[in-house]
Structure 1
Amino acid sequence: MNRIINVGKKLIMKGNFEMGLFGKMFDALSGESERFPNVDWYCDRCNAYLNEQSEFDDHKYTWECTDCGHKNSISATNVYESEEDFRTK
């Protein structure tokens, strides 16, 4: 299981990212309900927790926050292996 850390307005995923990404793509193809299981998503503007918003779907590539209306990118580019990786990019 991966540990997710919210750092400011981005997301850090601790664990084996390469294998995790392959597993997530396989899960999506096999009909699993989440494209990014065990990943917590937060709004880039207001930091609201997106996963629990009504009808949130991480298969969509953007999600409009129901709290502030900001359109957030939901993609692998927003998931980081470590805090250091997040800080250097």
Structure 2
Amino acid sequence: MGLLDSALGLLGSIMDGGCNWRCDGCNSLMNTQPGFTTESGVWTCSECGTLNDVSENNIIPEEGSKGYVFEKEYEDGTTEKIRFTKTREVHDFDGKNGKASIWSKR
């Protein structure tokens, strides 16, 4: 089974460009959606129907900041992190009341 698992892992990384792709509309992980591929440069999310850019131009580097370009901690302990995709600005919040994300089109 080890060789089969390795082959399937390699095939998966070829089909998804070696990235975890999240939908710009609903934030679902698209890599696990049936038939997912980055071959055409676009993918329609099977969860919400949003057409997503899955090309090399929309890859956010993960070195150091994990794609975040701004981080702030508020007095109540809540943290805010901002990241950008090609089409969206995303604000991720993590605090004592839980996690939330909001986004706006760029």
> TM tier, shorter chain?
0.5 to 0.7
Cα RMSD (Å): 2.4
Q: Which residue of 1 aligns with 2:7?
A: none
Q: Which residue of 1 aligns with 2:48?
A: 68
Q: Which residue of 2 aligns with 1:36?
A: 17
Q: Which residue of 2 aligns with 1:52?
A: 32
Identity %: 29
Distance 1:64 1:50 in 2: 9
For structure 2, list consecutive stretches of 5 or more residues without a partner in the other structure.
1-12, 62-66, 71-82, 87-106
**What amino acid is aligned across from residue 34 of structure 1 in structure 2?**
M
Q: Which residue of 2 aligns with 1:15?
A: none
Distance 2:16 2:49 in 1: 22
Larger Rg belongs to: 2
SS in 2 for 1:33: helix
SS in 2 for 1:69: coil
Change (3 A) 1:76 1:68: same
Match status 1:83 vs 2:64: no
**What amino acid is aligned across from residue 78 of structure 1 in structure 2?**
N
Give the TM-score taking structure 2 as reference length: 0.45
Distance 1:59 1:78 in 2: 14
Distance 1:61 1:55 in 2: 14
SS in 1 for 2:57: helix
Count the aligned residue pairs: 56
Give the TM-score taking structure 1 as reference length: 0.52
For structure 1, list consecutive stretches of 5 or more residues without a partner in the other structure.
1-31
SS in 1 for 2:52: strand
Higher RCO, Cα 8 Å, sep 6+:
1
